[in-house]
Structure 1
Amino acid sequence: MAEDVVDLCAALLRFDTTNHGGGTSAGEREAAEFVAGHLDTVGVSASILEPAPRRSNVLARVPGTDPTLPALLVQAHLDVVPADPAEWSVPPFSGVERDGFLWGRGAVDMKDMVSMVLSVLGTWSREGRQPRRDIVLAFVADEEDQGYYGARWLVEHQRDFFDGVAAAISESGGYSYRAGPRRLYPIGTAERGTSHLRLTARGRAGHGSRRNPDNAVVHLLGALGRIAALEHPVRLTPTVRAFLERTGEALGVAVDLTDVDGTLARLGPAAALAESTVRNSTTPTVLRAGYKVNVIPGTASADVDVRTLPGTVDELMASIDAVLGPHVTREFLDEQPPVQAPIDSPWFDAMADALRAEDPEAAVVPYCMGGGTDAKAFTRLGIDCYGFAPLHLPEGYDYRAMAHGVDERVPVEGLRFGARVLDRFLSS
């Protein structure tokens, strides 16, 4: 059985758990069996649940020494996005170690976190240790699509399993980020909401050679142009406000919350962690219209990726409706609210303490994720969800380009650092 975090991660990377979206997936079954088998070996009883064939979720609970304390959920997904082998330097599911990195699809999104958790549990088993509070484990399917076979399904059909859980940790936070003279460690305490829209324009079908002022394609393009031109106002959530203030303090940069764009410009590389989360966004991504070049279609549609900050959804939708035009309607494809966890909390403090114990120079700051994770599902249970999958990253390594990118890889020493940090945090 693999025990070292690097060996565990390499083994997980060799399972093809590609999620193509739309319910089409290689499935998480083999990876789930590997995880459940490891848990069983270290004395943790695990269950595999499948809402559909091969769409596998692993649930387990590690008892703590004080059952009166609220439990902590550790949730991580087993599926990965597609990878084209022709674009990669190594086969995407080889799990090879080269130049101090483990290479493979899922190396940072997020089989690294799965392997770190399994490594910690193996250490506890060998040393006869227990955490203070119950640790609830959920290694889930389908995060890279809609979560209907994973977190969303669990929240709807296995709700009782999460009774007593007060907080959760998962991906997209706790990694080192070089910003000038300091190493920042952003911990995810918020996520923008997701309001994916479909726009449908209707007009008069006809021959492409004839004048037609009621062209659905033209109606749609006009609406998309107006939506793309919307200027969204700055809206500072508690997390983003705290990020700007604490990052400015760590870097010795003046922060003016009345001039957020100017403040971001002064933060240098650190601005990338906040620039997408000071405003809502409306990004056209998919177009559908027509079937023949000389035929004007009667309908045309587009999908728009809309991301929302807390308390702004009604205002944003009103601004979209104002520019759609009379021939275009909208409907929600998916609507998930923003996520916000407390910043000044014992959970955040414990994460920061664990990071600083392994890296005394760490400047730990909260941040808001521009996209989304399975936290959107688990927060519906009243769980405070944090992005905390710790890694120490080498200079010149672009972590934010790794997830869903070509030649995804994770530093070997970063994995070992993360396992030590998680051990400290989960033990305390």
Structure 2
Amino acid sequence: MSSVDISIYKRPEELLQNLIRFDTTNPPGNEAPLMEYIDSLLTAAGFETTFLAKDPARPNLVTHLKGRGEAPPLLLYGHADVVTAANQNWTYPPFEGRIADGYVWGRGALDMKCGLAMMVASLLRAKDENLQPAGDVIFGAMCDEETGGAYGAKFLVREHMDIFKDVKYAISEFGGYTMYIDNKKFYLIQVAEKHHCSAEITFHGPSGHGSVPIKDSAMYKMGKALVELNDKKLPVHISDVTEKMINIIASHISEPESTYFKQLLNPKKTNEMLEIIKDKTGNFFDPLLHNTVNAIMVKGGERINVVPGEVTLYLDGRILPILNDNDLRDELINVIGHDCDIKITNYEQAKADADLSLFDMLSDILKGKEPDCIPIPIIISASTDARLLAKLGIQTYGYLPIDLPDGFSFMSSVHAADERIPVKSLYSGTDAIYEAIKRYRG
């Protein structure tokens, strides 16, 4: 361990390169070698570490930075697994971790080995500078986030909840990146996420021989339902977080865009305004103002010449945190009618409200470095391990500050070919997390 270079915290891009070079594609994950590498850095710096595993090949790593006992613990956590890079056309090999054109390229560069690199670098720096924060800092490197967390956060919450004792606040993914509107730079700090909800819709109709015309078959009913779901938006809902976000944006941009954004908060105008701003913002704001569903799979029919009497459509639904699965069911019925059976098959409720107690502190850190930047709170449409930690009453802030150039779409780059992060963002992001550790008071 003495040969381990803990000064790597001064070179977070190199740390990230090393993490990317571990292929932790999930499935199967195989996060153990990466965890052992992080462990080697932490133990060489003097941290005591613990491995907690449901499967030895897929361990989670936990350590503590001792505080002064003046505040509750702060949790830093992130996942080590990544989605597949197969069948994608990459400019550079996805697990090479190459630096080119001012970026670190590779699978996990954004989601979320960059965050692990920032957190580990911050902890190594804290140890090197003998920083003793107000409260303990708990760090968790977790596995299996990309496929639900059964071996990672879900396992830890169920089997080892004691490691989260007294934790109220946490820092993790998926926010902190920048977005430009009207030439203004906004930093998006995640404070909530939508609930994931899977649904099955089964349609029934007459069956028979494929050579005989059959009207109103189950297949045709499903087709009509798909057209309705494609052509109609679900109702508008405005949460407190989204209202705050949109009001902040509107107050910093010029006309007529400012008026367009204000009118997003008028449910009678919301959808019209979304179309007006779409050229500049894409679909970013749409899922923050609606529940959404996407058709994922279809099951029906067994032979080419037999009209099936039953067809099932599988939906991926995302529900705003102020609503629940019953609300989504009612909205689906209002769109496609009652002539079907709707079954909710999986509903993972996230935190219904957001505790913004740390938002000002996290914002001030960013503004201290960039006085003209504008931090805003956001709800994200994806699911993260935050939903699992929320079961213990923990408020997670997605706060991995990533300064992206104007025109670079974070969400379009995650899970895609040529995932990459600006090298300079690793330095500013690491500094921001280190500052959060210093300033945190509970």
What TM-score, normalized to structure 2? 0.88
Q: Is the 8 A contact 1:189 1:341 kept in 2?
A: no
Q: Which aligned pairs between 1:324-403 and structure 2 lie closer than 5 A? A: 328-340=340-352, 342=354, 344-345=356-357, 347-403=358-414
Q: Which aligned pairs between 1:22-421 and structure 2 lie closer than 5 A? A: 24-65=27-68, 67-84=69-86, 87-203=89-205, 206-213=208-215, 215-252=217-254, 253-254=258-259, 255-256=262-263, 257-258=265-266, 259-261=269-271, 265=276, 269=280, 272-313=283-324, 314-322=326-334, 328-340=340-352, 342=354, 344-345=356-357, 347-421=358-432
Q: What amino acid maps onto 1:17 in structure 2?
A: T
Q: Is the 8 A contact 1:42 1:121 kept in 2?
A: no
Q: Work out the percentage of aligned pairs sharing the same amino acid.
A: 29
Q: What amino acid maps onto 2:155 in structure 1?
A: W
Secondary structure at 1:394 match in 2: coil
Which of residues 8, 13, 38 is equivalent to 1:6?
A: 13
Aligned to 1:16: 23
Q: Is the 8 A contact 2:20 2:107 kept in 1?
A: yes
Q: Is the 8 A contact 1:193 1:308 kept in 2?
A: yes
Q: Structure 2 vs 1, CA of residues 207 and 159 (structure 1 numbering), >3 Å: closer, same or farther?
A: same
Residues in 1 aligned to 2:192 and 2:386: alpha-carbon distance in whole angstroms: 9
For each residue in 1:39-61, what CA deviation from the matched residue of structure 2 results, as whole angstroms up to 9, or x when unmatched?
A: 22222222222213422222222
Q: Of Structure 1 and Structure 2, which has the larger fraction of its residues in strand? A: 1
Residues in 2 aligned to 1:382 and 1:329: alpha-carbon distance in whole angstroms: 35
Q: Which moved more, 1:412-421 or 1:308-317?
A: 308-317
Aligned to 1:425: 436
Q: Which moved more, 1:279-288 or 1:108-117?
A: 279-288
For each residue in 1:198-237, what CA deviation from the matched residue of structure 2 results, as whole angstroms up to 9, or x when unmatched?
A: 2233456543223445743334333333444443221110
- Alpha-carbon RMSD across the aligned residues, in angstroms, is 2.3
For each residue in 1:265-303, what CA deviation from the matched residue of structure 2 results, as whole angstroms up to 9, or x when unmatched?
A: 469745754232111112212223334322334543221
Gaps of 5+ in 1: none
Residues in 1 aligned to 2:30 and 2:202: alpha-carbon distance in whole angstroms: 33
Residues in 1 aligned to 2:106 and 2:194: alpha-carbon distance in whole angstroms: 28
Q: Tell me the number of residue pairs that the alignment of Structure 1 and Structure 2 aligns.
A: 422
What TM-score, normalized to structure 1? 0.91
Residues in 2 aligned to 1:269 and 1:164: alpha-carbon distance in whole angstroms: 43
Residues in 2 aligned to 1:308 and 1:338: alpha-carbon distance in whole angstroms: 9
Secondary structure at 1:217 match in 2: helix
Question: Shift of residue 247 of structure 1?
Answer: 0.8
Q: Structure 2 vs 1, CA of residues 17 and 344 (structure 1 numbering), >3 Å: closer, same or farther?
A: closer
Question: Shift of residue 152 of structure 1?
Answer: 1.6
Residues in 2 aligned to 1:404 and 1:84: alpha-carbon distance in whole angstroms: 11
Secondary structure at 2:286 match in 1: coil
Q: Structure 2 vs 1, CA of residues 351 and 273 (structure 1 numbering), >3 Å: closer, same or farther?
A: farther
Residues in 2 aligned to 1:267 and 1:42: alpha-carbon distance in whole angstroms: 49
For each residue in 1:249-276, what CA deviation from the matched residue of structure 2 results, as whole angstroms up to 9, or x when unmatched?
A: 1224232332334655469745754232
Residues in 1 aligned to 2:283 and 2:331: alpha-carbon distance in whole angstroms: 26
Q: Is the 8 A contact 1:18 1:26 kept in 2?
A: yes
